[in-house]
């Protein structure tokens, strides 16, 4: 399938948008009229620029408020259309998008609308053009795809077809049926956009909250499969109106957009059986008489857990983090052969401290355990995750790293006795055979994302690692509203929690820029917390008010409540089980550790307690200053 993107998806001038689309690998673009109007380039120059960049112009849009009007208005509309057809000739575009009318002048008369669209298509055909009629979800009289198709059917002209826009369809009908029955030759164009499910005016929903495929709640896979099953063979094109995307660097947004289409094609491929004579990376969707080959990246190997998490430390934070790890029962078991890097371990939980990763303290890398690191890396790169160079000495493991949206790295590795294992890069300095504090492994890793890149990060981890978004929540924190989303694989061995402030203003409070944390699993939180306290771990103190309220709400066993109060253990429940967790103070400027115990089938992350933890961290920082 060819891939296209509407210029309205990206920020910048028209030339900025075209360069970004080409660099991201798109085959074509939809030219949004406002972008052309504001461009210093003539239509001929835009055409030449696109050709130089290897881009086709697949659609010119939008042409508004045409049909179902009186004779005088119709003539004015046709005059306007002739000008646009001439403009399209100069651009080299052959299809114009006509939106269903929202004009108060339009009347509710399908026959009149069909007759006038027939006339428009006749004019278009004389210029070598086609008309793709689209039902806006807020159209005055035509606001469903079925209605637009019925008018096109009545219009009965070879140059008249429908444009299906996933937002306009799925915002009104989450599970549409019957699209595959439209004749393929009448499906002139397909526009794709995802969106969260919101209870709001559909126009505002559309104009501000669309997302790239895989970032929202729409079932784009089933929708697109129906369109392809009908015989559509045009490009998969993105049309996304989003306030964040239209302010983000266009090259970054274009890469995010391309990743979304690669992931969508993979999901489409999974709906159908592999064609026996197709390439290993191709799949066929419906209609054996007109197959569609969909490129798909290598399948994601099942992640088996975190091999390690890497923390960047500096001269000040390094000793602080080392003391904290030792007090948590971790042993310093290895020193890298050629780099200022330490390996700490307890149970299967491993932390790498890198004193050469930069000046800022924070989570520099996540290493995911996989039985096929090479395939994982190839998949990541095909999903537009750039490979990162990593220097290595002779006989050191060749770990592939790709860049995550927040600037950290994702590595793929296999831990074991294999000489090629990354563990062989470390000279042994200690032993971690005993779990001193009962910590067994890394439960999850918490990363704070800038608001502008929250959805990009979701798609990245979902597509690159094959994780599923779940457990969305928002909570009122001491310094603003925070959005949280967990991304995990079904067995819960790799869990990543993304957090982000919806709006952050003001500098009056002690700043904790982009806090991050690593959560360790234990089977007995009270025993673990008691051991940590005895070892001098910097456990975070929690106000007595929290425990008084907890007792009132849940009537916790008095002895357990006393232990929880003593060690700062928080509590949550869901429909499946219970969750106990405690935290360290901030180590450096932004990192802390968490100890968690999951009871029965609890799947969450204690988000209800996050405001308490955040306030406690602020108080602890104030005490230190």
148-162, 223-237, 238-252: least confident range: 238-252
Q: Say which residue, 292 or 520, is predicted with more confidence.
A: 520
Q: Per-residue pLDDT averaged across 344-373, rounded?
A: 89
User: Any idea which of 104-108, 331-335, 505-509 has the lowest mean pLDDT?
Assistant: 505-509
Q: Which residues of 372-398 are buried (b: 16+ CB within 10 A; e: fewer)?
A: bbebbbbbbbbbbbeeeeeeeeeebbe
Band (291; pLDDT cuts 50, 70, 90):
low
Residue 537 pLDDT exceeds 80? yes
- Count of CA atoms in the C-beta half-sphere (13 A) of 9: 30
- Between the alpha carbon of residue 399 and those of residues 133, 341, 402, 494, the distances in Å are 51, 15, 10, 19
Between 540 and 271, residue with greater pLDDT: 540
Q: What confidence tier does 251 reach under pLDDT thresholds 50, 70, 90?
A: very high
Of 41, 22, 26, 591, residue with least CA distance to 320? 591
Length of the chain: 625
What average pLDDT does the structure give for the chain?
A: 90
Which stretch of DSSP H or E encloses residue 519? strand 516-522
**Mean pLDDT on 383-388:** 89
Residue 282's pLDDT band, with cuts at 50, 70 and 90, is very low
Q: Where are the domains of the chain?
A: 3-271, 305-624
> Which CATH code fits 3-271?
3.20.20.150
Q: What's residue 264's pLDDT?
A: 96
The answer to whether the beta carbons of residues 292 and 285 sit under 8 Å apart is: yes
Burial class of residue 436, CB neighbours in 10 A (0-12, 13-18, 19+): middle
pLDDT tens column, 573-591: 999 999 999 999 999 878 9
- Residue 490 CB neighbour total at 10 angstroms: 9
Query: CA 118, 186, 22 angle in degrees (round to 5)?
Result: 110
Does 283 score more than 60 pLDDT? no
Q: How far apart are CA 47 and CA 43, in angstroms?
A: 6
Reported as a single tens digit per residue, the pLDDT across 67-87 is: 999 999 999 999 999 999 999
Tens digit of each residue's pLDDT (9 = 90 or more) over 96-140: 999 999 999 999 999 999 999 999 999 999 999 999 999 999 999
Q: Specify the CATH number of the domain 305-624.
A: 3.10.180.10
The three-state secondary structure class of 415 is coil
Distances in Å between the Cα of 272 and the Cα atoms of 174, 268, 293, 463, 565 are 22, 7, 11, 19, 55
Cα 340–Cα 343–Cα 347 angle in degrees, nearest 5 = 175
The pLDDT value given to residue 123: 97
The band of 419, judged by pLDDT with boundaries at 50, 70 and 90, is low
pLDDT at res. 281: 37
- pLDDT tops 50 at residue 279: no
CA-nearest of 298, 303, 209, 211 to 261 is 211
Hey, what are 226's tokens?
A: 């129906």
pLDDT at 284 over 50: no
């Amino acid at each position: 399938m060819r891939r296209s993107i509407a210029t309205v998806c990206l920020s910048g001038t028209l030339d900025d948008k075209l360069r970004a689309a080409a660099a991201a690998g798109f085959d074509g673009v939809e030219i949004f009229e406002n972008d052309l109007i504001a461009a210093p380039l003539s239509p001929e120059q835009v055409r030449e620029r696109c050709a130089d960049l290897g881009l086709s112009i697949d659609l010119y849009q939008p042409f508004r408020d045409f049909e179902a009007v009186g004779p005088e208005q119709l003539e004015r509309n046709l005059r306007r259309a002739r000008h646009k057809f001439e403009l399209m000739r100069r651009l080299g575009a052959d299809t114009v998008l006509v939106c269903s009318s929202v004009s108060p002048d339009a009347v509710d008369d399908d026959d009149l609308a069909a007759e006038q669209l027939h006339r428009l298509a006749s004019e278009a055909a004389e210029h070598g053009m086609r008309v793709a009629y689209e039902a806006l979800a807020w159209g005055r009289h035509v606001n469903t795809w079925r209605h637009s198709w019925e008018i096109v059917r009545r219009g009965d002209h070879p140059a008249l077809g429908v444009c299906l826009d996933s937002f306009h369809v799925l915002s009104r009908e989450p599970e549409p049926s019957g699209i595959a029955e439209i004749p393929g030759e009448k499906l002139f164009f397909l526009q794709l956009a995802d969106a969260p499910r919101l209870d709001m005016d559909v126009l505002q929903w559309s104009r501000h909250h669309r997302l790239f495929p895989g970032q929202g709640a729409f079932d784009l896979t089933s929708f697109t499969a129906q369109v392809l099953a009908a015989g559509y063979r045009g490009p998969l094109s993105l049309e996304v109106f989003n306030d964040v995307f239209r302010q983000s660097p266009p090259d970054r947004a274009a890469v995010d957009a391309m990743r979304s289409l690669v992931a969508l094609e993979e999901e489409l491929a999974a709906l159908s059986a592999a064609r026996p004579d197709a390439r290993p990376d191709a799949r066929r969707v419906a209609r054996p008489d007109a197959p569609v080959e969909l490129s798909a990246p290598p399948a994601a190997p099942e992640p088996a857990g975190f091999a390690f998490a890497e923390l960047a430390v500096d001269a000040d934070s390094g000793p602080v983090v080392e003391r904290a790890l030792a007090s948590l029962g971790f042993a310093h078991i290895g020193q890298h052969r050629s780099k200022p890097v330490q390996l700490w371990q307890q149970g299967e939980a491993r932390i790498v401290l890198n004193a050469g990763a930069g000046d800022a303290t924070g989570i520099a890398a996540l290493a995911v355990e996989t039985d096929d690191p090479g395939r994982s890396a190839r998949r990541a790169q095909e999903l537009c995750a750039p490979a990162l160079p990593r220097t290595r000495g002779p006989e050191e493991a060749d770990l592939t790293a790709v860049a995550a949206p927040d600037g950290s790295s994702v590595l793929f590795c296999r831990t074991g006795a294999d000489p090629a294992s990354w563990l062989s890069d470390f000279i042994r300095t200690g032993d971690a055979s005993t779990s001193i504090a009962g910590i067994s492994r890394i439960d999850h890793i918490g990363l704070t994302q800038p608001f502008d890149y929250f959805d990009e990060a979701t798609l990245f981890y979902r597509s690159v690692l094959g994780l599923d978004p779940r457990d969305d929540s928002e909570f009122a924190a001491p310094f603003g509203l925070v959005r949280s989303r967990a991304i995990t694989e079904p067995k819960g061995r790799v869990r990543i929690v993304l957090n982000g402030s919806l709006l952050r203003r003001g500098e009056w409070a002690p700043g904790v820029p982009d806090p991050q944390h690593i959560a360790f699993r234990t089977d007995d939180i009270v025993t673990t917390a008691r051991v940590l306290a005895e070892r001098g771990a910097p456990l975070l103190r929690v106000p007595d008010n929290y425990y008084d309220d907890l007792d009132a709400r849940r009537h916790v066993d008095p002895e357990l409540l006393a232990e929880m109060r003593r060690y700062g253990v928080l509590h949550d429940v869901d429909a499946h089980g219970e969750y106990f967790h405690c935290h360290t103070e901030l180590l450096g400027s932004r990192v802390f550790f968490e100890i968690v115990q999951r009871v029965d089938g609890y799947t969450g992350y204690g988000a209800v307690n996050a405001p308490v933890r955040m306030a406690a961290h602020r108080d602890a920082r104030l005490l230190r200053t």
